[in-house]
Amino acid sequence: MSYDLAVYAARASSGDELRDLVIQGSGLQVDEATARTLTIVRGVRRRYSFTVDGPDAVDFEDIPAEVAAAVLGACWLYAISVEGTTESEVPHAVRFARRLARALDGAVLDQQTDEVWSRSQSRRVPKPERESRVSTVDVAWYCLREDLATDAAALFVDSARRFLPEALPRRFGEYEPFQGKLAEAGVDGFTKAWADATSTLFTAGSGPCIGGQLSAGPSAQFPDRFWSISLTFHAEPIRDVGWQEALRALFVTLADELPAFYASAEVIEGHIWTGRSLWSDGATEWKISPLRYRDGWTGLPPKPTWWTWLGRPFMEYHSALPADRVTATARGVMYEAANSPGTSADLVSSGTWLPAGLFSRLAPNPHREQPVPLVPALVIPAALRSA
């Protein structure tokens, strides 16, 4: 027999640290060691107990969803195996695996039962004080309805579960108080709620995700060619590299698979946090949406955004962006204006390289109307022109 455990963590231990963790076990010793393998024995007779292999680097996309939900930024893997017929050694291997996970703030995956054990605090984020001013990271994906995946709602849930479980629609509905609960309705229930919605379907997440919204599905009361989904996050946690990587994976995956023609992530400043939701006043920065009902696509927004993803309609312009700021994805390119979330004043706008005609412009707004009036871009890709 072989009993296998996997320990996932955001950092790798040193050789000395690993040996120290071994000898903390009851009678455990290192019998043999290579650069990446330890053979562990136990007792006076030095009876074989288990083997530790690793650490091995593991891609973000290959982290099991159950582990991703427990540990932020896991990228290292230790494989622990009890080999042969020594079933009595399994408890010793399990205890060591948990000791290693605690030391590395990671998680243990029992590969026989798929049970995950973790004491990691890595996914917990502090809540802002009530009535305090906060910044958000607003992420949005824009699609053409004729290209949209028929299972867009299920695709959103699956992608969030894999990469950023805090973005899952814990509660959802077309109006407050939200009647839908993912824990009760499941993916099928959420998909049906979206398919039946005649207006925007709103969602509530968990920290650092505040919530989001999806344009209505096939039952939309006032459908047009354009469809979008957006999520709002507290900005401070997203400055951490681990949260950024999780958000990046979700951002790119949805952009490629929905598919989007344009997606963005931007910082909005000056919200008022009530403890559950956001409010705005005259000091709150206004978000500029590039889509307008009836008018359609107005062009790339005039305000620089932290992340920009450009899909097929902008393909002829991809090569104009600087290689050191661009990542090619399955169906487009992602441009990063800064290494961490920043305000427009801190960003190197994609407009530095892209033609000015692709961008809308702010129109006069003496009465402070919302949405912010825009002068449409001079150049609208053919696929995005309104009829």
CA 385 vs. chain centroid, Å, equals 31
Same domain membership, residue 361 and residue 234: yes
Lowest mean pLDDT among 80-84, 195-199, 345-349: 345-349
Same domain membership, residue 341 and residue 207: yes
Same domain membership, residue 377 and residue 353: yes
Cα 79 to Cα 280: distance, rounded to the nearest angstrom: 50
Inform me whether the pLDDT recorded for 243 exceeds 90.
Answer: yes
151 belongs to a structural domain: yes
Residue showing tokens 């099991």: 64
Where b means 16+ CB within 10 Å and e means fewer, 65-87 reads: ebbbbbbbbbbbbbbbbbeeebe
Same domain membership, residue 157 and residue 39: no
Classified as helix, coil or strand, 248 is: helix
3-state secondary structure 152-212: HHHHHHHHHHHHCHHHCCCEEECCCCCCEEHHHHHHHHHHHHHHHCCCCEEEECCCCEEEE
Same domain membership, residue 85 and residue 153: no
- Report residue 56 as tokens: 């091995």
- Quick one: which H or E segment has residue 361? strand 361-362
pLDDT for the residue 248: 97
108 belongs to a structural domain: yes
125 belongs to a structural domain: no
Same domain membership, residue 358 and residue 236: yes
Inform me whether the pLDDT recorded for 352 exceeds 90.
Answer: yes
Cα 73 to Cα 187: distance, rounded to the nearest angstrom: 25
- Quick one: which H or E segment has residue 309? strand 307-310
pLDDT for the residue 85: 63
Hey, how many other C-beta atoms are within 10 angstroms of the C-beta on 25?
A: 16
Per the model's pLDDT, the better-predicted residue between 290 and 387 turns out to be 290
**Domain end (from 64, 86, 118):** 118
- Classify strands 2-9 and 28-33 as parallel, antiparallel or unpaired: unpaired
pLDDT for the residue 232: 98
**How many domains does the chain contain in total?**
2
**Domain end (from 93, 118, 143):** 118
Q: What is the mean pLDDT of the chain?
A: 93
* Average pLDDT of the residues in 175-192: 95
Angle at 318 between CA 293 and CA 253, to 5 degrees: 65
pLDDT for the residue 380: 96
Residue showing tokens 């919605």: 197
Same domain membership, residue 364 and residue 222: yes
pTM for the complete prediction?
A: 0.91
CA 142 vs. chain centroid, Å, equals 17
pLDDT for the residue 43: 87
- Report residue 301 as tokens: 């927004």
Inform me whether the pLDDT recorded for 303 exceeds 80.
Answer: yes
Q: Please name every residue paired with 202 in a beta bridge, in sequence order, or none if there are none.
A: 173, 213
Domain containing residue 79: CATH number? 3.30.310
52-66 tens-digit pLDDT: 999 999 998 899 999
Same domain membership, residue 281 and residue 210: yes
Cα 283 to Cα 199: distance, rounded to the nearest angstrom: 29
Cα 153 to Cα 188: distance, rounded to the nearest angstrom: 9
CA 231 vs. chain centroid, Å, equals 10
Same domain membership, residue 252 and residue 103: no
* Average pLDDT of the residues in 232-245: 95
295: pLDDT confidence band, cut at 50, 70 and 90? confident
| Residue 210 and residue 184 in contact, taking contact as beta carbons nearer than 8 Å | no
80-103 tens-digit pLDDT: 999 976 788 999 999 999 999 999
Domain encompassing residue 73: 2-118
Same domain membership, residue 150 and residue 82: no
3-36 tens-digit pLDDT: 999 999 999 998 889 999 998 877 899 988 787 8
126 belongs to a structural domain: no
124 belongs to a structural domain: no
End-to-end CA distance of the chain: 66
**Domain end (from 84, 118, 152):** 118
pLDDT for the residue 387: 55
CA 290 vs. chain centroid, Å, equals 23
Same domain membership, residue 111 and residue 143: no
160 belongs to a structural domain: yes
Same domain membership, residue 88 and residue 156: no
* Average pLDDT of the residues in 238-263: 96
* Average pLDDT of the residues in 172-190: 96
145 belongs to a structural domain: yes
Inform me whether the pLDDT recorded for 345 exceeds 90.
Answer: no
